[in-house]
Amino acid sequence: MLSNEQLLEQEMRQLLESQGFQIFKKIGHGTFGQVFLVHHPNLEEEFVAAKVIMNEDFDMNEWDSAGILSQDRSQISPFIVRNILAKQFDKMTVILMEYSNLGTLFDLIKTQKDLPIPMIRVIMIQILQGLSYIHSKGIIHRYYLIDIKGGNILMHCPTGSGRVILKIADFGEMKNAQNDPQKSIFMSQRGTNAYMAPDLFLANANIVTKADSKVDMWSLGMLLYQITTHTFPYNPHNEYEI
């Protein structure tokens, strides 16, 4: 007998297949949906990632933010994941995104390998370029329940290039600072404790606090510390120590 999760995945697969998608495999899942590697003959991309979520979990803010970043495809940064299109059905919403073929930065971090300094430098430069583009659009990159961290940095090697490109993904909780990334806006406490900036961490989860693009720099600093030391400067599971 199939579990509820298996039944839901089956329903998601049936929806994609009914729309002409060829499904190769499931490449991710989370609280709010599942992601599949798919192909559609009407798309110029050979492979895309299809995120399927229940309509009640679809955050229009995610789509709006991604749209701001993708308004001019010729100018879009190669260091962010591009949303291609979204379509809402009776019960579910399908979001098509460009596919990154090497997994996440966290997959690399968890191998516990000591990365050479030149590689770490390239990793940080690419993430910073992606963040710079996001901030240039007046957006502060804060995720729903997560921050800038390895699990949300995808890695991609274009066919035949021999080069790895890192891409910032998941725009579910991005805040528009009206084209001024240094302008303080009100934000609630959302994020993984290990990566959360102090001003957000000290705020009550139900209370908003002022923050600007510096919150992303703090999260990026914690990510750099984790990459180089395989740990954090404090116990991320102990709120008092943080």
Give CA–CA dist 76/4, Å, rounded.
Answer: 39
C-alpha span between 232 and 175 (Å, rounded): 27
Asked if 92 contacts 53 with a C-beta cutoff of 8 angstroms, the reply is yes
- What is the Cα–Cα distance from 43 to 226, expressed in whole angstroms? 38
The tokens describing 149, both together, are 């961290």
Question: Is the backbone of residue 33 left (phi > 0), alpha (psi -120 to 50) or beta?
Answer: left
Sign of CA dihedral 17, 171, 66, 75: negative
Instruction: Please name the residue ranges forming H helices in 35-143.
Output: 60-69, 105-109, 117-136
If phi > 0 it is left, if psi is from -120 to 50 it is alpha, else beta; for residue 171 that is alpha
Catalytic hit among 72, 90, 147, 180: 147
199 is catalytic: no
Q: List residues forming the annotated binding site for ATP.
A: 51
List residues forming the annotated binding site: 51
**Which residues lie across from 95 on neighbouring strands?**
51, 86
Residues 187, 122: Cα–Cα separation, whole Å: 31
CB 49 within 8 A of CB 37: yes
Tokens at residue 39, please? 């192909």
Would you please indicate which residues are annotated as catalytic (active-site) residues?
Answer: 147
